[in-house]
Amino acid sequence: MAGGVVATGGGTHHEGKITLFVIVTCIVAAMGGLLFGYDLGITGGVTSMDQFLLKFFPNVYIQMKDQSGVHHHSQYCKFDNPLLTLFTSSLYLAALVASFFASSITRIMGRKISMFIGGIFFLVGSLLDAFAVNVAMLIIGRLLLGFGVGFCNQSVPLYLSEMAPPKIRGALNIGFQLMITIGILIANLINYKLAKIKNGWRFSLGIGAVPAIILCLGAIFLDDTPNSMIERGKQEKARKMLQRIRGIDNVDEEFQELVNASEEAKKVDNAWKNIIEAKYRPQLVFCSLIPFFQQFTGINVIMFYAPVLFQTLGFGSNASLMSAVITGGVNVVATIISIFSVDKFGRRILFLEGGIQMLLCQIAVGAMIAKEFGVSGVGSFSKGEVNLLLFFICAYVASFAWSWGPLGWLVPSEICSLEIRSAGQAINVSVNMLFTFIIGQVFLMMLCHLKFGLFFFFGGFVVIMTIFIAFFLPETKNVPIEEMNSVWRSHWFWARFIPQDMVNSHAHLQDL
């Protein structure tokens, strides 16, 4: 999942059917996740298309095609161009800026308006990019898409978790992440199909307008969540809404809980002040470090630049796009595996297994590239080596997708109790967006300078983060939010920050 506040675990089990209304709502809201994934995955393929490069980045094109042997350019530096990377990374900078005001708009004006605004940004951004005549237009389009991401990542997960019956809320958290990976896969497939037609890149960039329209229409026709109505003082409307979405008349108990939760939330208005208190040190540390580490696994090197990377390594342009489809497919399947394993094996096992597997794959990929391309960057892979390399990259993507991918969002959201939740989530989302931007922006430059060593660089971070998890993250599987304090209290390191009287003292705070 990529942002927003999703309540997980805890919660009372109320009666309530999974009504058609809830299903339609979820489909429409899920378009937000799909759009994010689509816009994340589409640029890698587009930036490897000849016609696109010729039009906007002719120098990169010439560098790429220079097989004459006269210049003997290092393969590592073929795509090193800051404007080209800005086309990909600017989205995250805009998302970071937008999420600052998107959270207030989502709270004050409701989830629906925020989703609608996000949808309009997605729509206009896709159209600007599809009809772009110069680089400025391309980048402005990406900035607008980034605003769309900022708004939708605040409102969509919240909308989904508030509309769904409590018993399927936890699954929705990873469900949103799944939609992102499906969006990335669709983008890879579309690039693969459209690369062969004239100006295919325009269609690749424009197709994002379709889910954007569905999202906008949905936001116009669907109602806001009962929680948001209560928050804005519309109690009676909220009760009717709850009856409608649950498909039953007697919703008294759940309604009362929502009202109580809203009252509690008003009392804890200073989440920022709370989170810096010593007793919330574990949450502050995890909400800052988990997103940082998630990005330093290096995953977005593959998600953003797989086709470019594959071309760098001498794959043909068709094979590069096909390889991106394969890694995209592995990403979806492994995320589904994670949905079934996370409550069974627990977070720690997934984190630790994922870390070790990622590291082994990074060492293998780095070593293979070192052997064929060395420091000079001149070389090529045989057919067998290409397949082996692709295998290691897929194994790496799979290990990320069942560990740091979904858990990078799930763990920060489930460890924060109500009095710090909004601040914890804001830190998590902004740190994530900031480092996604930085990695997106500097990857091609780093590849040019660090060469095969880049894979060892990210591998080094994976070692650090895996050790960090092993020593510092307690298991949070099946721990209701109100019992989280006793988990910290019995941890060898965090115990020193948690006063004894804090254990169970927050049991009254309902999970929103």
Q: What is the C-alpha to C-alpha distance for residues 371 and 369, in angstroms, rounded to an integer? A: 5
Sign of CA dihedral 368, 372, 378, 383: negative
CA 292 to chain centre: 13
The closest of 52, 118, 125, 120 to 84, measured between CA atoms, is: 52
Number of residues that bind ligand BGC (CB under 6 A): 15
Q: How far is the CB of 504 from ligand BGC (least distance, A)?
A: 32
The residue (of 161 and 300) whose beta carbon lies closer to ligand BGC is 300
List the interface residues with ligand BGC, window 416-435 (CB under 6 A). 432
Q: What is the C-alpha to C-alpha distance for residues 334 and 30, in angstroms, rounded to an integer? A: 19
Q: What is the C-alpha to C-alpha distance for residues 36 and 176, in angstroms, rounded to an integer? A: 10
Contact 192, 204 (CB under 8 A): no
Q: How far is the CB of 397 from ligand BGC (least distance, A)?
A: 8
Q: Pattern 21-60, binding to ligand BGC, x per CB under 6 A?
A: -------------------x--------------------
Q: Does 331 bind ligand BGC (CB under 6 A)?
A: yes
Three-class secondary structure of residue 42 per DSSP: helix
The single residue among 283, 417, 425, 436 that binds ligand BGC, judged by CB under 6 A, is: 436
- 231: its two tokens: 């928050």
* Number of alpha carbons in the 13 Å side-chain half-sphere of residue 272: 2
Q: How far is the CB of 405 from ligand BGC (least distance, A)?
A: 4
Three-class secondary structure of residue 111 per DSSP: helix
Contact 76, 447 (CB under 8 A): yes
The single residue among 9, 125, 170, 405 that binds ligand BGC, judged by CB under 6 A, is: 405
The residue (of 103 and 227) whose beta carbon lies closer to ligand BGC is 103
Which backbone phi and psi does 209 adopt, to 5 degrees?
-65, -25
Stretch that binds ligand BGC, among 124-132, 173-181, 216-224, 315-323 (CB under 6 A): 173-181
Residue found under tokens 């997934």: 350
The residue (of 204 and 225) whose beta carbon lies closer to ligand BGC is 204
The single residue among 103, 114, 181, 320 that binds ligand BGC, judged by CB under 6 A, is: 181
List the interface residues with ligand BGC, window 288-327 (CB under 6 A). 294, 299-300, 303
The residue (of 41 and 218) whose beta carbon lies closer to ligand BGC is 41
Q: 395: part of which helix (H) or strand (E)?
A: helix 383-401
Please provide the size of the chain in residues: 512
Q: How far is the CB of 235 from ligand BGC (least distance, A)?
A: 37
Stretch that binds ligand BGC, among 119-127, 176-184, 377-385, 476-484 (CB under 6 A): 176-184
Q: What is the C-alpha to C-alpha distance for residues 417 and 331, in angstroms, rounded to an integer? A: 31
Q: How far is the CB of 232 from ligand BGC (least distance, A)?
A: 31
Catalog residues that contact ligand BGC under the rule CB under 6 A: 2, 40, 177, 180-181, 184, 294, 299-300, 303, 331, 405, 408, 432, 436
